[in-house]
Structure 1
């Protein structure tokens, strides 16, 4: 099968052996795969896949089930689905734990569905599981126009949480407000103005060191500050007296390296609490652009530009997507 791999900072299609479909797994003919910043980091040699995971790029994909292993629940050949992966999504087919698969929401295309699993799993895990977000609590989302940010804004709106964002441009702020954000601030211009909206009960931050001091200042008493990335560096100096005085919980979080049972429970929660909201029209995939497989390098360059609002996907089978 054809599969996409990172080679010295670029992406290249190559030939790989088709994976074996084992007990508890399903094989999916891939229609499309979502792009994520983790793919950029892996391509650059900075984020290797977890032990045992495929080194093929792609942490989420959509398609049609073509084989069902024993003990794979109610899935059947022909089901249209999307899935969460530790790697391997950018290939003609992928084999995945059946518990990490979600049905195609009614009314959505497979290209749109490829943009859902990773960002909604990340947003749900960090806001509602780890930070235990309660209705009415105020949320700050850094990189609000990103794929995770777009999902998080919509979830906050759906579950009764006013949220604010930091973004890179006025256009991206307007985009976030169209999804339900109350307002926000522009990176590099008026980030300090976030003080006017705080303090915040939950802060979701993929930036890291550059925002650490400000996050602590913006945090409310008993706030939960969840760090999910290091785009702005890995080392920061903090006033721990302020951390203690506010009783702030600082939580470090990653999803890709979690074990299969953990991801299975997370996917089950998404199916119960989040997936129905797509069919009700309260959540929408924020797909900015779908790229053809032949334009894979262009797709990665677009994501690296930090100008994307929402998600990008790579279409591997136009007859399905």
Structure 2
């Protein structure tokens, strides 16, 4: 089958073997795949797949089930989306059936490709690891990103006022349209966030350059959840400030979690989050789609860091 891989810093289509569909798995004929920063890192040779995972790019996809392994609770023809450790940018993928969710009512297959990774990431880090409680205040760095746009909507749905840091006034307006209370432009500095804090939970994909300000902005018993290193990996911090606030710093990744952890997370999403799409309280934030022939253009668009929401690569436009 055809699949997209990272080769010497570029993306390249090639032939890869078709996998068997074993017990507890399903085969999905892929309609579309969401793009994530992890794909950029893998393309650059900086983020290897977990042991045993496909080296094909793509951490989420949507499509139609083409084969069901023994014990899997799906039917051939079901419209689904899936969280993947890799393999989403291909003609088809074989995945643990427990990592699959139905396409929400009213959501297209293409839109559904933009849901699993960002909503799983936002839900895991805000509501499971940080144990966000109703009314607690949240700060989302890179608020207009795919994860940020999902997190804003979840905060609004579950009663958590949130603020953002972003790169432009247009992106701030976008975040506010989703439900953010306000925020700051990062090139103006982050000190004005003091006007909105302190924050009970801070979700940070930036890392080193934001480490000090995060601790200063933290509320008593607050939690910083680190999910990326866009701003570097080494920083000097004042542990005295952290100790005085009884603060917590959590570091979190999703891709290398084990199958049972992901199954439990997907089940939680299905119970608490997916119904909100049907109710219209959550909406896919699809910024732009690209044809599979323009995979290079899709990756360059994402690398430009100007995307509000998600980019999706359409793999098979005959599926609907």
Which residue of 1 is the match for residue 106 of structure 2? 107
The correspondence of residues 239-254 of structure 1 with structure 2, limited to 5 A, is 239-254=238-253
* 1:255-281 superposed Cα distances (whole Å, 9 cap, x missing partner): 000000000000000000000000000
Give, in angstroms, the shift of residue 188 of structure 1: 1.5
Which residue of 2 is the match for residue 320 of structure 1? 319
Under a length normalisation based on structure 1, what TM-score does the superposition of the two structures give? 0.99
Q: Segments of 4+ in structure 1 off by > 6 A?
A: none
1: CA distance, partners of 2:190 / 2:212: 12
Which residue of 1 is the match for residue 165 of structure 2? 166
Aligned-partner SS, 1:269: helix
The correspondence of residues 137-216 of structure 1 with structure 2, limited to 5 A, is 137-216=136-215
The correspondence of residues 9-24 of structure 1 with structure 2, limited to 5 A, is 9-24=9-24
Stretches of structure 1 that go unaligned for 5 or more consecutive residues are none
1:5 aligns with 2:5: yes
1:61 aligns with 2:88: no
Aligned-partner SS, 1:300: helix
* 1:171-212 superposed Cα distances (whole Å, 9 cap, x missing partner): 000000000000000011142100100000000000000000
Which residue of 2 is the match for residue 49 of structure 1? 49
Aligned length: 320
Aligned-partner SS, 1:294: helix
2: CA distance, partners of 1:20 / 1:42: 25
Stretches of structure 2 that go unaligned for 5 or more consecutive residues are none
1: CA distance, partners of 2:296 / 2:6: 10
1:266 aligns with 2:301: no
1: CA distance, partners of 2:281 / 2:8: 41
Give, in angstroms, the shift of residue 12 of structure 1: 0.6
Which residue of 1 is the match for residue 84 of structure 2? 85
Give, in angstroms, the shift of residue 236 of structure 1: 0.6
Aligned-partner SS, 1:33: strand
2: CA distance, partners of 1:219 / 1:256: 27
* 1:126-159 superposed Cα distances (whole Å, 9 cap, x missing partner): 0000000000000000000000000000000000
Under a length normalisation based on structure 2, what TM-score does the superposition of the two structures give? 0.99
Which residue of 1 is the match for residue 237 of structure 2? 238
Aligned-partner SS, 1:188: helix
